[in-house]
Structure 1
Amino acid sequence: MIEKEVTVTIKEGLHAKPAGELVQKLSEFTSDVEFLLKNRSYNAKSLLGLMGAAIREGQVITVRVDGPDEEEAFEWIKTFI
């Protein structure tokens, strides 16, 4: 399992378009992916979950990835966010 903090650099945060792109790409990975923010966990493979998190530019989130392709998934997330 990988669990690391990442600062969101996407302009305007994870609003609908980037959240949709994120969910679509993460569906290609078999690993489970969660974003932890303000003592809550959000399924990063769920568009509704991400929209509910209201993640903004500049926020620091914890990314937790667990599974057989966790390293590749985490590296992609880190680059995307």
Structure 2
Amino acid sequence: MALIVEFICELPNGVHARPASHVETLCNTFSSQIEWHNLRTDRKGNAKSALALIGTDTLVGDNCQLRISGADEQEAY
């Protein structure tokens, strides 16, 4: 069963190259699938890909979710 983390983006400039790269690096330490969902734009992207994260067009104040599923989902959560 997938775990879902809900949060509001607090980055003043939204998700651009630098924060996306940090998220990508962190998420790639887990084998679970991790999907980023921007609820404002309804765009989803693989959290293990900086380009996919940027493609979600996440801005400050956007409601977002991370959907985590896999063998180490508890650790990733």
Considering fraction of residues, name the structure with more helix.
1
Cα distance in 2 for partners of 1:13, 1:71 equals: 27
Q: Aligned runs of 1:1-80 on 2, under 5 Å?
A: 1-37=2-38, 38-74=41-77
Distance 2:34 2:56 in 1: 14
Q: Label 1:40 to 1:54 Cα distance change in 2 as closer, same or farther (>3 A).
A: closer
User: Gapped runs of 5+ residues in structure 1?
Assistant: 75-81
My pick for the range that moved more, 59-68 or 1-10, is: 1-10
**Number of equivalent positions:** 74
| Identity among equivalent pairs (%) | 32
Distance change (3 Å), C-alpha of 1:22 and 1:4: closer
Q: Measure the CA separation in 1 of the matches of 2:75 and 2:12.
A: 24
In 2: Cα distance, 1:4 partner to 1:26 partner:
13
Taking structure 1 as the reference length, what is the TM-score of the superposition?
0.79
Question: Relative to 1, partners in 2 of residues 1:10 and 1:71: Cα closer, same or farther, differing over 3 Å?
Answer: farther
Give the counterpart letter for 1:49 in structure 2: A
- What is the root-mean-square deviation of aligned Cα atoms in Å? 1.4
